[in-house]
């Protein structure tokens, strides 16, 4: 697996500070651009969870150090990792 194109990878624009996060890797080579410069890949990866019942998918945008345990359809959502999520 190529680094930086996993689910939840975060890219930031060094000029304006805009950030994007990869929700669904497509198998291509992602090269986001903002303010005419290539966005930088940050080391952090946002946690992604999905519901195995209805396939609802959520991404943690802000981490305040708590213990996030999202639930959907009356069950705990599964943490999704890697470039090929079971969606």
Write out the residues near Zn ion by the rule CB under 5 A: 13, 15-16, 18, 34-35, 51, 53-54, 56, 72-73
Nearer to Zn ion, 17 or 27 (CB): 17
CB of 27: closest distance to Zn ion in angstroms?
26
Nearer to Zn ion, 54 or 62 (CB): 54
CB of 78: closest distance to Zn ion in angstroms?
11
Residue 57 CA to residue 23 CA, distance in Å, equals 9
Element (H, E) at 75: strand 75-76
Nearer to Zn ion, 1 or 36 (CB): 36
Sequence-separated (6 or more) residues with CB below 8 Å from residue 33: 39
CB of 50: closest distance to Zn ion in angstroms?
9
Which is nearest to 81 in space by CA: 6, 3, 5, 2? 6
Across the chain, which distance is largest between two alpha carbons, in Å? 45
């Amino acid at each position: 697996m190529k680094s930086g194109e996993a689910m939840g990878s975060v890219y930031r624009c060094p000029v304006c500070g805009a950030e994007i996060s990869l929700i669904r890797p497509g198998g291509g080579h992602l090269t986001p651009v903002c303010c005419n410069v290539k966005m930088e890949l940050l080391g952090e990866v946002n946690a992604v969870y999905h519901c195995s019942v209805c396939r609802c998918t959520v991404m943690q945008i802000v981490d305040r150090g708590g213990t996030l345990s999202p639930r959907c359809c009356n069950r705990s959502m599964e943490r999704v990792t890697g470039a090929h999520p079971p969606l």
